[in-house]
A and B are shown apart, each in its own frame.
Chain A
Amino acid sequence: MDTLVAHSAVLIIAIPLLAAFLTPLISRASEKARDIFVITSLAFVEFLVIILAKDIYLNGIHIYTLGASSPTLTIPEHYMVPVRIILEVDAMSIFMGIISATVSLAAAIYSLSFMKRETGGDRFYILLLLLVAGMLGLEFTGDMFNMFVFLEILSISGAALAAFRTRFADAVEGGFKYIVISAVGALVILFAVGIFYAPNIICST
């Protein structure tokens, strides 16, 4: 159980991604199997968020380094600056994590019946799972460029979902406006990542 808590920070982001990659294959089996699979994976993410919240409530900020020999090894041996990507989950991000996990579980359960009348069903669930992964990833990363990547996942899947009902002109137009504005915003954030990377931009000695 405690290993689950130790790895829960990254599992919360990885499980929706894994579910999104598996959904096209599972939806070949049957519509019913796909719906069950999506709901169980989102319920498991909700369970992980709750146990991580309890762990953070008890002993503070939860740090997870990706790729190091142990999750809490943030600084490599003979160096003073972290080189790998670090997930930093504090009270604020787990609070937002609880909200987004619960809301997306409710949205998935609601959309089971709503999506019966629409065509292209399993693509809706793939985009919904990716939206959830983008949201949770955005809240949990401690790395600036990683935040840009998850923000981009969020905006692309959100724009595609906005333009889902392609027979309405307003839906596609709204999706287009959403993707244009968020692409420009994300590129300016990428410019800010570049400025952060060159430290002495103003105080160059």
Chain B
Amino acid sequence: MSKIVRTISNLLILFILTFGLYVIMHGHMTPGGGFPGGAVVASGIALLIVAFGSHHVQKTLKEHHFAILKSSGLLIFIGLAFGGIGAAFFYNFLVGSPIFGHIPPYGPNPGDVWTGGSSTIMNIAVGIIVSAGLSAIVLVMALATGKER
């Protein structure tokens, strides 16, 4: 791609990533959450692949980096699910505990980040999984169908 597109995408990638992380982090209060936030982050990486070409991106962001990210996100997710095994498999064992444990008053309230129990951390885990997964799909497909230089 031309020089202009590369410099603009260099700047733009920061805003896309911060917006994606914002949507992932505030999933339990505002609309959004793990899936849409991960898709936003993956679209940022897709922008890099379009701007710089898949071979250039492949030098820094290799496929096994995404594989490690995906596996760790999934392990966090299933670890939280196993965390509540005392009561039942997917029991929300962090409600009322010091970690993300506040319970907001019933009805409309301004929203408090420190709520949601294990579902907040699951949000972040799903955000990691979706962003690593979708960008891995885009990168692998771009590499496979790109011109071998």
Interface residues, chain A, with chain B CB atoms under 8 Å away: 7, 10, 14, 17-18, 21-22, 24-25, 64-71, 85
Contacts and interface: CB of A to CB of B under 8 A. Distances in A.
Given A24-B68, A70-B87, A71-B88, 12 more contacts: A7-B89, A14-B82, A14-B89, A17-B78, A21-B74, A21-B78, A24-B67, A25-B68, A66-B88, A67-B92, A68-B87, A69-B87
Contact of A67 (B68, B75, B82, B90): B90
A22 B75 contact: yes
A14 B75 contact: no
A68 B71 contact: no
> Main SS of the interface on chain A?
mixed
A31 to B, nearest CB: 16
Contacts of A66: 88-90
B130 to A, nearest CB: 15
A65 B67 contact: no
Nearest to B73: A21
Given A24-B67, A25-B71, A70 B81 contact: no
B85 interface: yes
Chain B's interface size range is 10 to 19
10 contacts: A7-B85, A14-B82, A18-B82, A24-B67, A25-B68, A64-B89, A66-B88, A67-B84, A67-B90, A71-B88
A140 B74 CA distance: 22
B52 interface: no
A67 B88 contact: yes
A169 B90 CA distance: 43
B35 interface: no
Interface string B66-104: 011001001100100110110111111000000000000
Contacts of A68: 87-88, 91
A165 to B, nearest CB: 17
A71 B89 CA distance: 8
Contacts of B88: 10, 64-71
Contacts of B74: 21
A21 B89 contact: no
A185 to B, nearest CB: 23
A18 B67 CA distance: 15
Nearest to B90: A67
A67 B81 CA distance: 9
A65 to B, nearest CB: 6
B27 to A, nearest CB: 18
Nearest to B82: A14
A66 B85 CA distance: 10
A168 B40 CA distance: 37
Interface in B53-73: 67-68, 71
Contacts of A67: 84, 88-92
Closest 4 CB pairs of A and B: A67-B90, A21-B74, A10-B89, A66-B90
Contacts of A69: 87-88, 91
A18 B78 contact: yes
